[in-house]
Amino acid sequence: MGTKNNFSKTKLYWLLQVVGWSSIVFIETINYTFFIHGSFEWTFFQQFILYSLVGLFVSHGYKSVFIRERVFSRSLSRIWFKAFLDTLVIALMMAILLYLPYVFIDFQALLKQQTIISFFGQVMNLGRYVLVWIIIYYLYHILKRNSEISEQKLMLENVAKSAELELLKIQLNPHFLFNALNSIKALVLIDQEKSRDAIIKLSELLRFSLNYEKAPLISLNDEINEVIKYLELEQIRFGKRLEVEILIQEETLEQRIPPAMILTLAENAIKHGITKLPDGGKIKIESKIKGQKMWVELINSGQLEENFSMGIGLSNLEKRLQNLFPDKSSFHLDNFGDSHVKATLTYPMS
């Protein structure tokens, strides 16, 4: 589909090139025939065809070498400044090619004042057509770039909303709430102080899940605090069947992370790992800096099944990473040895 689309764009580009530069022949022929010379002459007509062909190939060659896509990522003032320079250079190149035969026919004629004046007049004359070509070409790419930015922004918003809904589904999952509240109810009869602390943790965790979308990035320290609350609530349910180890490199505490990412990984580890093991297991979370990148790893007891596929939560996690750090981030979820699963997040340091 993409190949067909590119092919149709190429055909459209060459159609516009041919029609656009052919307009020189039409306009200049009308101009010379009716307003300047007063009659039609083949000499002029052939000369205008030559102008058209030179313009066609010079503009295409210049565009291919000197006008790259990254140009349209700059500010508008810099884009149009380059457009002005491109107009002068293309018109100058066309004029040089048109006057090149004089080098071999009559080199001395090139040095005459009249020829020099005629040369620069030709540059100005051709510049009119080049300017129109540049404006159309640049406007097309500026509008295309704006459209891509708008689409990317819309996609980011959709992913954020989708991730928000998924997190709410995870954190407000009746099963999770039922287990947490049952554990707290049982704890009330044993230790009222611990039960009160558990209720506070649950309320703070739910508040976080409701408000996290307000910031695209939060400190790793804030994220880990919420993860700890979640795991402590799960430890009430699992007891000694759930062991937790958190190794956070001090330098990473103030580094930024998309909110609820580690929380999503922890929830996934509980749901697909610890819950399925009769004797329970261990969750280990580690953060470190390698080069200019943040690394966050979560290792849990268990194994991925052969037909395992990432759910909405993990898929959204991957999409959020890619949208926040295009081509500079990664997410991997694999079996680690014979009895563990490892999830790894990497992204640029803020």
Q: What is the pLDDT of residue 175?
A: 58
Same domain, 78 and 194: no
**Runs of H (alpha helix) within 172-219:** 174-190, 192-211
Q: Are 6 and 100 in a shared domain? A: yes
Length of the chain: 350
158: in domain: no
Closest CA to 268 of 317, 235, 223, 220: 317
3-state class (DSSP) for residue 289:
strand
Instruction: Supply the CATH number for residue 224's domain.
Output: 3.30.565.10
Distances from the Cα of 93 to the Cαs of 55, 85, 100, 119, in angstroms?
9, 12, 10, 11
Q: What residues does 285 pair with on adjacent strands? A: 246, 298
**Domain assignment of residue 165, yes or no:** no
Residue 195 domain flag:
yes
pTM over the 0.75 mark:
no
Distances (CA, A) of 273 to 18, 141, 174, 247: 64, 50, 20, 20
Cα torsion for 31, 37, 42, 45, to the nearest 10°? Answer: -20
Q: Which two tokens stand for residue 308?
A: 């395992």
Total number of domains constituting the chain: 2
Please state, in angstroms and rounded to a whole number, the distance separating the CA atoms of residues 28 and 40.
11
Residues 116, 10 within the same domain = yes
Structure token pair of residue 72: 């349209």
Task: Return the exposure string of 126-162: e unless at least 16 CB atoms fall within 10 Å of the residue's CB, then b.
Answer: bbebbbebbeebbeeebeebeeeeeeeeeeeeebbeb
Alpha-carbon distance of 344 to 287, in angstroms, equals 10
pLDDT at 172: 46
Backbone phi, then psi, for 333, in 5-degree steps?
-135, 115
What dihedral do alpha carbons 157, 161, 163, 166 form, nearest 10°? -170
Structural domain ending residue among the three candidates 91, 122, 152: 152
Give residue 324's domain range. 172-348
Domain match, 196 and 58 both: no
Domain stops at, among 104, 122, 152: 152
Q: Are residues 213 and 85 in the same domain?
A: no
316, part of any domain: yes
The whole-number pLDDT of residue 68 equals 86
* Domain co-membership, 192 together with 51: no
In angstroms and rounded to an integer, the radius of gyration of the C-alpha atoms of the chain is 34
Contact predicate 329/168, CB 8 Å: no
Per-residue pLDDT reduced to its tens digit, 331-340: 999 999 989 9
Residues 8 and 145 both lie in one domain: yes
Per-residue pLDDT of the chain (350 residues; tens, 9 = 90+): 555 565 578 888 899 899 989 988 898 889 888 888 788 888 889 989 999 999 999 999 999 998 988 888 888 889 999 999 999 999 999 999 988 887 777 777 677 778 888 889 889 989 999 999 999 999 988 888 888 888 888 887 777 666 665 555 554 455 566 767 777 777 777 778 888 888 888 888 778 776 666 677 889 999 999 899 889 888 888 888 999 999 999 999 999 998 888 988 998 899 889 989 999 999 999 999 998 899 999 999 999 888 777 777 788 888 888 888 888 899 999 999 989 999 999 999 87
207 and 267 both lie in a single domain: yes
Query: What local confidence, expressed as pLDDT, does residue 185 receive?
Result: 79
Is residue 283 within 8 Å of residue 322, measured between CB atoms? no
